[in-house]
């Protein structure tokens, strides 16, 4: 009984540990907002896409199988024949 009394006295005089605060996990960082990309400069692909939408014959593949984009790129070899891709990207009529 003495040992029980001693245990009670020792236990009563001991400090109890302070309650531990729950671990708070911060939420993940939000996904970065995509940066708005600069619009792509007019190029042969955009010119040919627009010409195809208009149904222009110049945008069709040649009988030999050349694509509009290839013909456009090749046009820059001679400045006199170079396509105006900026104008062809926005035109609403087929070029002659």
- Structural domain total, the chain: 1
**Model-level pTM?**
0.58
9-30: per-residue pLDDT in tens? Answer: 555 555 667 777 788 888 887 7
Q: Is residue 11 part of a domain?
A: no
Give the containing element (helix H, strand E) for 88: helix 85-90
> 62: pLDDT confidence band, cut at 50, 70 and 90?
very high
For residue 50, give its domain range: 44-90
Q: Is residue 78 part of a domain?
A: yes
Is residue 71 helix, strand or coil? helix
Q: Is residue 35 part of a domain?
A: no
Dihedral of the alpha carbons of 54, 57, 63, 68, in degrees to the nearest 10? -60
Q: Is residue 82 part of a domain?
A: yes
Residues 47, 94: Cα–Cα separation, whole Å: 11
Q: Is residue 34 part of a domain?
A: no
> What pLDDT is attached to residue 55?
95
Dihedral of the alpha carbons of 40, 42, 45, 49, in degrees to the nearest 10? 100
> 7: pLDDT confidence band, cut at 50, 70 and 90?
low
Q: Is residue 29 part of a domain?
A: no
Q: Is residue 28 part of a domain?
A: no
């Amino acid at each position: 009984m003495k040992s029980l009394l001693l245990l009670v006295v020792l236990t009563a005089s001991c400090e109890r540990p302070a309650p531990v605060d729950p671990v708070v996990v911060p939420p993940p960082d939000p996904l970065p907002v995509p940066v708005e990309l600069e619009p792509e400069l007019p190029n042969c692909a955009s010119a040919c896409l627009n010409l195809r939408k208009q149904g222009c014959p110049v945008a069709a593949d040649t009988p030999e199988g050349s694509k509009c984009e290839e013909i456009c790129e090749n046009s820059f070899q001679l400045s006199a024949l170079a396509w105006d891709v900026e104008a062809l990207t926005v035109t609403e009529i087929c070029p002659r």
